[in-house]
Amino acid sequence: MAVLEIRKYGDPVLRERALEVDEITPDIKELVKDMIETMYATMGAGLAAPQIGISKRIIIIDGEENELLVLINPVLLKKEGKVYEEEGCLSVPGIYGKVNRYETVTVEGMNLSGEKVKVTKNGLMGKALQHEIDHLEGFLFVDRVSKIKRKILLDEYKKKNH
Ligand code: ZN
């Protein structure tokens, strides 16, 4: 296992559409272990493979009651309600902004055993699912705030991380 470097805003891998995982190989299992270790080491609530430089459709979410969710090729099936709350991201450290999200989402994907899994989550996990799936499409939370707010946040980010 290894703690990997988190790719930061400006890294092109964060802007790619990540590729589907065809098969759960030993390499994929190893990659997920590294993602888990990296997420815990950085105190993240979730992590998507592109954030460690791997353009594959894998996300992990640190849930309530020590529930760790690993989803491969996740797809958003159902979305309900609206929330507008503050988010941050390990790839854009030090800044936070309010983002529109669905309150409850149902996501289907595959677990590490290659079985189909379907989860319905709200609250923090619901938001984390949407945030991490965004990463697989090359979106960051700063893309989802207003244009003016984005400029303010990115200026602040540059000041903190120059
Ligand atoms: Zn993020």
Ligand 1 center–CA 23 separation, angstroms: 25
Q: What is the pLDDT of residues 21-71, one digit of tens each?
A: 999 999 999 999 999 999 999 988 999 999 999 999 999 999 877 789 999
Q: What is the mean pLDDT of the chain?
A: 95
Instruction: Please indicate whether residue 23 is annotated as part of the active site.
Output: no
Q: Is the pLDDT of residue 76 over 90?
A: yes
What is residue 66's predicted lDDT score, i.e. its pLDDT? 76
Whether residue 145 has pLDDT greater than 90: yes
Indicate whether 89 pLDDT > 80. yes
Mean pLDDT of 94-102: 95
Separation of alpha carbons 72 and 122, rounded Å: 19
* Span from the CA of 26 to the centroid of ligand 1 (angstroms): 25
Q: Which two tokens stand for residue 59?
A: 């996300």
What DSSP state is assigned to residue 153?
H
Name the pLDDT band for 78 (thresholds 50, 70, 90). Answer: very high
CA of 45 to the centre of ligand 1 (A): 9
- Region of poorest pLDDT, from 41-45, 118-122, 133-137: 41-45
- 77 CA distance to ligand 1 middle (Å): 21
Q: Write down the pLDDT at residue 63.
A: 82
pLDDT band of residue 134 (cuts 50, 70, 90) is very high
Domains of the chain: 12-161 (3.90.45.10)
Of the residues 5, 67, 132, 137, only one is catalytic, namely 132
Q: Mean pLDDT throughout 1-20?
A: 95
What's the pLDDT at 84? 96
For residue 41, the SS3 value is: helix
Q: Positive or negative CA dihedral for 110, 55, 38, 45?
A: negative
Q: Is the pLDDT of residue 1 over 80?
A: no
Angstrom distances, CA of residue 86 to CA of 96, 110, 138, 142? 6, 29, 20, 11
